[in-house]
């Protein structure tokens, strides 16, 4: 089953930006409470009032980067532990994995000496359904490249794969509609073949 989470047709970046302050605030609150520090105490450590810290934690305001650094230092954590994860550095990628562990039940396992990342049981759930589609696309592209006659064809196939990624998750919907269309065409062809068979039978009776 293909699951595409697009709330009200909004651009995913709009959704992310809309809730960014809430996510940062939730992280500040989670870490602060885990250390038994009050909002007033955290505020004192960074030169703010407890009321201001409360606003940040509720997501009604979002601290700028320099203040976020100060809050992180006051809590004894990395700034990346409070901000939305990034993936352009190894450390940022790790914080992205930590976030997925919390949100999507990501697990790390060692199987036959190799590290394996798995969401939940590895087979069910919305994110696994999308990863399943990704794996199918990867196999399809690999087969197409192996059958390509020259480098120009291979480059065109790689470009198609890039477009699949760049238009995700719309690519899932498009591919699903394509599969449904092919299924309908196959059914119609079978019906036509059956009607032709009946017509041939009537002609033989004449």
- Residues 75, 31: contact at Cβ < 8 Å? yes
Same domain assignment for residues 31 and 70? yes
Task: Please answer whether residues 126 and 114 qualify as being in contact, where contact means their C-beta atoms are separated by less than 8 angstroms.
Answer: no
DSSP string, 33-69: HHTT--HHHHHHHHT--HHHHHHHHHTSS---HHHHH
Q: What is the pLDDT of residue 1?
A: 42
Q: Are residues 29 and 70 in the same domain?
A: yes
3-state secondary structure of 109: strand
Identify which has the larger pLDDT, 46 or 10.
Answer: 46
Q: How many CA atoms lie within 13 A of 162 on its CB side?
A: 6
C-alpha distances (whole Å) from 98 to each of 48, 79, 110, 204 are: 29, 14, 17, 72
Give the Cα separation of 82 and 75 in Å (integer): 10
Give domain status of residue 41, yes or no: yes
Instruction: Let me know if residue 104 belongs to a domain.
Output: no
Site of tokens 């970046």:
13
**Cα–Cα distance measured from residue 125 to residue 106, given in angstroms and rounded to the nearest whole number:** 12
Query: Does residue 154 fall inside a structural domain?
Result: yes
Question: What is the per-residue DSSP string for 114-141?
Answer: EEEEEETTSSSSHHHHHHHHHHHHHHHH
**Is 103 within the bounds of a domain?**
no
Predicted TM-score (pTM) of the model is 0.73
Residue range 182-206: mean pLDDT, rounded = 75
H-helix or E-strand spanning residue 12: helix 12-34
Examine residue 76 and state whether it is found in any structural domain, yes or no.
yes
Residue 48 resides in a domain: yes
User: 119 and 78 share a domain?
Assistant: no
In a domain, 155, yes or no: yes
| Residue 96, pLDDT score | 96
The parent domain of residue 157 ranges over 114-166
Question: CA-CA distance, 42 to 127, in Å (whole number)?
Answer: 36
In the chain the first and final C-alpha atoms are separated, in Å, by 50
Give pLDDT tens digits for 26-60. Answer: 999 999 999 999 999 999 999 999 999 999 999 99
26 & 78 share domain: yes
pLDDT digits (tens, 9 = 90+) for 30-39: 999 999 999 9
- The tally of domains found in the chain comes to 2
Quick one: pLDDT band at residue 12, thresholds 50, 70, 90?
confident
Residues 124 and 69 in one domain: no
Q: Which of 84, 99, 126 is the last residue of a domain?
A: 84
CATH classification of the domain holding 38:
1.10.260.40
Please report whether residue 105 resides in a domain: no
**Chain segment 106-124, per-residue pLDDT in tens:** 999 999 999 999 999 998 8
């Amino acid at each position: 089953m293909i699951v595409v989470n697009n709330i009200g047709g909004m651009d995913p970046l709009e959704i992310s930006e809309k809730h960014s302050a809430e996510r940062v605030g939730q992280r500040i609150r989670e870490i602060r409470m885990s250390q038994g520090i009050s909002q007033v105490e955290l505020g004192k450590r960074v030169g703010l009032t407890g009321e201001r810290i409360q606003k940040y934690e509720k997501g009604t305001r979002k601290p700028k980067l320099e203040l976020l650094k100060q809050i992180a230092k006051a809590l004894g954590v990395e700034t990346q532990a409070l901000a939305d994860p990034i993936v352009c550095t190894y450390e940022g990628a790790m914080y992205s994995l930590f976030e997925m562990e919390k949100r999507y039940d990501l697990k790390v396992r060692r199987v036959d000496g190799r590290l394996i990342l798995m969401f939940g049981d590895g087979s069910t759930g919305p994110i696994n359904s999308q990863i399943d589609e990704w794996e199918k696309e990867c196999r399809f592209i690999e087969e197409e490249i192996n059958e390509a006659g020259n480098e120009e064809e291979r480059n065109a196939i790689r470009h198609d794969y890039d477009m699949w990624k760049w238009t995700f998750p719309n690519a899932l919907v498009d591919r699903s509609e394509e599969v449904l269309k092919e299924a309908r065409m196959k059914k119609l062809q079978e019906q036509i073949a059956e009607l032709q068979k009946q017509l041939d039978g009537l002609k033989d009776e004449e």
